[in-house]
Structure 1
């Protein structure tokens, strides 16, 4: 739902009725996450996608039917070519009257606060189906089966945070790419002439010493296993104090420092001189980024974001392609 929140809010504010469909359970080999939603607006336009499932046309018609009739329903749909795979989809009308709590959900998501929505998708009492309950408690996104109800739990955690130190063209390009992937972005630089918010649309821009800003984020509980840190500058006067703090954090998703092999070697030598051993330094990706032959700031940002995603997903981030001998020319 997160990717169509603005579209849902627009329909809600219009006072008209659309339809909302949500995948609440999957069985077998299905390459789409539980919680994926689509909106069919009052004019029949669709927002979001389930195209990868092969059931989108059926879901669209069922959602349109819910919008027109006001009926809520749980559908079990076979996945074409899925060798027995099935997807359970809950369809419901969507409007002010049908989902009065929605603006609260949208506001919590916009403010990067945790919000969890419980929806009754089956109950022997038809009037109970479609009831919503909102809480700020942490919960897995899943379908919970109780003796007299099936309840779908949709949990929206705050988006992951990417913090970049050094306000330059690499940081600007990386900021844009990270936001496309759903990251909150903060950029910190102690130089007022560089830390200009207008240069980094959508990002929080802070003028402060990097190590001090990182310590502040730690004290506020903003750093966790989903957080990424990227050092986009090569200035030793603030990169070593910053990395000294970052490498001692017990929980963090990614630490990267851009630069050449020469600057990386110098950086590692400085950190070893500060008391870090090879095990600790193995947490640092330096030079940051996959080897794609990056030659521009945008390409460097692409290399870094690709490595960050690979690390987040537990992948090496390297692709080996083998060609048949007869294909070689």
Structure 2
């Protein structure tokens, strides 16, 4: 969850004091773009700018529009793309197209924004809808979904029910984006045939909390991995059964340190498809039971550290324990990409590079050696 990351306290202070600020969000992205759907930049009541919508390409133009909205202009929708004339001023040099929704936020325009802030702070899932979004702006009807409890209304019970269903689906799939709802009650993606007179375009912003990074083994490599993983937005856990090694002092950057046998911990802790499990003990007493427990979970990434000799011996033990060839394909061993690193920090970089590549369905090769969009 990157929304409001790094400036949550400031935004909460503005809102609770009743101060008005502008929020610009990426609501649609076509082709290569620097930041994902939902990326946000805020302009505070004194003109301060926080966050980013493009990594720098169009920030100046967005800031100018945000100040106008902050001064009383209606919400605006702006589209930015590459052209020879404006590529170095307000265009996207990467060649993509961004649609940015710019609106003012305060207690009057978004009374439920305090709920959003609370959920972001606690890392809990929350989704909300803004719309109808048009080519020029958006109205300010909103519904916030807190678990299964929606807040707010569009003024129509049937429409509210359909939007609540979309919010739940967006949270389940961790997907923010534009949706078109037809007045006859059928919804579809924004790319559907245009029926402007019979539809509403809505932007759903879904925040599902940070993905988990579970590191097995209280080693120096684990400390480096927990630190870098936290910097990348993961909720990090270090697990080791040895209390002398599994201490908060040794892992100051980990969100939590668990003193428990790793296989037992993996059997009861919440794990989903976004969870990465990294087993760094390279000791058969810990490795094999931990891998078996990880394979019984829906974890999206399972990696195990060790030399090639350790890797082959571990595979033999796993086969003897009944692990199938298909299951073995889920295990990334030896862990990480071939970066040639030797330090704990370089090893952590190698591991997280593999995790990010797998999560995005990419090869992990040098960009110069592949074709297609970078993002």
Shared fold (TM-score, shorter chain, > 0.5): yes
Aligned twin of 1:110: 121
User: Matched residue pairs, number?
Assistant: 313
TM norm structure 2? 0.76
Aligned to 1:207: 259
- Aligned pair in 2 of structure 1 residues 294, 97: CA closer, same or farther (>3 Å)? same
CA 1:21/1:292 → structure 2, altered by over 3 Å: closer, same or farther? same
Q: Is the 8 A contact 1:32 1:53 kept in 2?
A: no
Q: 1:131 Cα shift?
A: 2.8
**CA distance in 2 between partners of 1:209 and 1:108 (Å):** 31
2:322 and 2:307 map into 1 onto residues whose CA distance is 23
1:165-210 C-alpha deviation (Å, 9 max, x unpaired): 1111111111111112111111111111111123323421111111
Contact 2:28 2:177 in 1 (8 A): yes
Q: Tell me which residue corresponds to 1:259.
A: 306
CA 134–266 in structure 1, closer or farther in 2 if over 3 Å, else same? same
Structure 2 residue 76 is the aligned partner of structure 1 residue 74? yes
Which piece of structure 1 moves more, 86-95 or 310-319?
Answer: 86-95
Provide the residue aligned with 1:326 in structure 2: none
Judge conservation of contact 1:188–1:207 (CA < 8 Å) in 2.
Answer: yes
Q: Which of 14, 28, 37 is the aligned partner of 1:34?
A: 37
The 5 Å alignment of 1:1-329 reads 1-3=3-5, 4-27=7-30, 30-52=33-55, 54-69=57-72, 71-81=73-83, 86-122=97-133, 129-135=139-145, 136=147, 137-139=168-170, 140-146=175-181, 147=198, 149-200=200-251, 201-217=253-269, 222-249=270-297, 251-319=298-366
Unaligned runs of 5+ in 2: 84-91, 148-167, 182-197, 370-375
Contact 1:38 1:46 in 2 (8 A): yes
In 2, distance between residues paired with 1:198 and 1:210? 20
Would you say the 8 A contact 1:256–1:286 is kept in 2?
yes
Report the Cα distance in structure 2 between the residues aligned to 1:116 and 1:97, rounded to whole angstroms: 19
Q: CA RMSD in A?
A: 2.6
- Asked if the contact 2:37–2:177 (Cα under 8 Å) also holds between the matched residues in 1, the reply is yes
Name the CA distance, whole Å, in 1 between partners of 2:51 and 2:237.
27
**Is the CA contact (8 Å cut-off) linking 1:18 and 1:40 kept in structure 2?**
yes
Q: 1:145 to 1:179 in 2, by over 3 A?
A: same
Deviation at 1:29, TM superposition (A): 5.4
Give the match's secondary structure for 1:199: coil
Deviates further, 138-147 or 159-168: 138-147
CA distance in 2, matches of 1:232, 1:28: 38
CA drift at 1:78: 3.5
- Structure-2 separation of matches of 1:164 and 1:256: 10
